[in-house]
Amino acid sequence: MKKLLLHPAAKPVLFVLCLLPLSWLVYAAATDQLGANPAEALVRATGDWTLRALCLVLAVTPLRVVTASPQLARFRRMLGLFVYFYALLHLLSYSWFDMGFDLAEITRDIAKRPFILVGFLAFCLLTLLAATSFNRAIRALGGRRWQALHRAVYGVAGLAILHFFWMRAGKNDFAEVALYGTILAVLLGWRLWRRMATGASRPAGQGKAASIP
């Protein structure tokens, strides 16, 4: 397994796999398989895949530690950028199909509807993380500051779940919200537990434990 993770084809294969949801949505739209309201289906589907990609990227570190497979870390950046990619498609779908790219109407909608405001804030944070995900940004910021900045992914996870919760509240449909909320809570809870356990195990006087990305 570790040899497979280091294989030169591993990243291209993951890239193709991450594009499969988009390929299916394009095919479904072209063949009229998105149901009675294709626009709403596209908005929801891109939002769902953003959450799924977020769960995957947050699962990398726990899997890397639990399975003793440091090779998994080489896929984290790509998965993180796909989170942003699907979030961008989600925003574009809403802006196009719901708002007709009317900037003034979009601005008013963000201001008056809390779940859209929360989703937009999550997107802004994701934009910051995506823009600083490259080696040049890491060198410019320095390792510690870069890690501190990228802990904002925890805020993104919280805002994403709140956005999803408020969106489903109108229809009293919380089954998927509970599922994604539980997954993200477990993944973030693992990080908190790991951070506390690592800090407690360090000898006194050696400073804070290294952060868990």
pLDDT over 70 (residue 212): no
Q: Using an 8 Å Cβ cutoff, are 164 and 54 in contact?
A: no
Cα Rg of the chain, angstroms: 19
Write down the pLDDT at residue 201: 59
SS3 at position 49:
helix
pLDDT the model gives residue 209:
34
Residue 90, pLDDT above cutoff 70: yes
User: Looking at the predicted structure, is the pLDDT value of residue 213 above 50?
Assistant: no
Distance CA 34, CA 41 (A): 6
Query: For residue 31, which amino acid is it?
Result: T
Confidence band, pLDDT 50/70/90 cuts, at residue 96: very high
Q: Output the pLDDT for position 124.
A: 97
What CA dihedral angle connects 59, 65, 68 and 74, to 10 degrees? 50
Mean per-residue pLDDT, 79-101? 96
Burial state string for 59-69 with b = 16 or more CB within 10 A and e = fewer than 16: bbbbebeeeee
pLDDT of residue 202: 58
* Residue 175 pLDDT > 80: yes
pLDDT at 72 over 90: yes
Please give the mean pLDDT across all residues of the chain. Answer: 90
Q: How far is CA 22 from CA 14, 122, 142, in A?
A: 14, 21, 35
pTM: 0.90
Q: What is the pLDDT of residues 20-43, one digit of tens each?
A: 999 999 999 999 999 989 999 999
Q: Note the pLDDT of residue 174.
A: 87
- Taking only the tens place, the pLDDT of each residue in 137-173 is 999 999 899 999 999 999 999 999 999 999 888 777 8
- pLDDT at 53 > cutoff 60: yes
| 58 burial type by CB count under 10 A (0-12 exposed, 13-18 middle, 19+ buried) | buried
Output the 3-class SS for 54-116.
HHHHHHHHHHHHHCCCHHHHHHHHHHHHHHHHHHHHHHHHHHHHHCCCCHHHHHHHHHHCHHH
Alpha-carbon gap, residue 41 to 38, rounded angstroms: 5
What is the model's pLDDT at position 179? Answer: 93
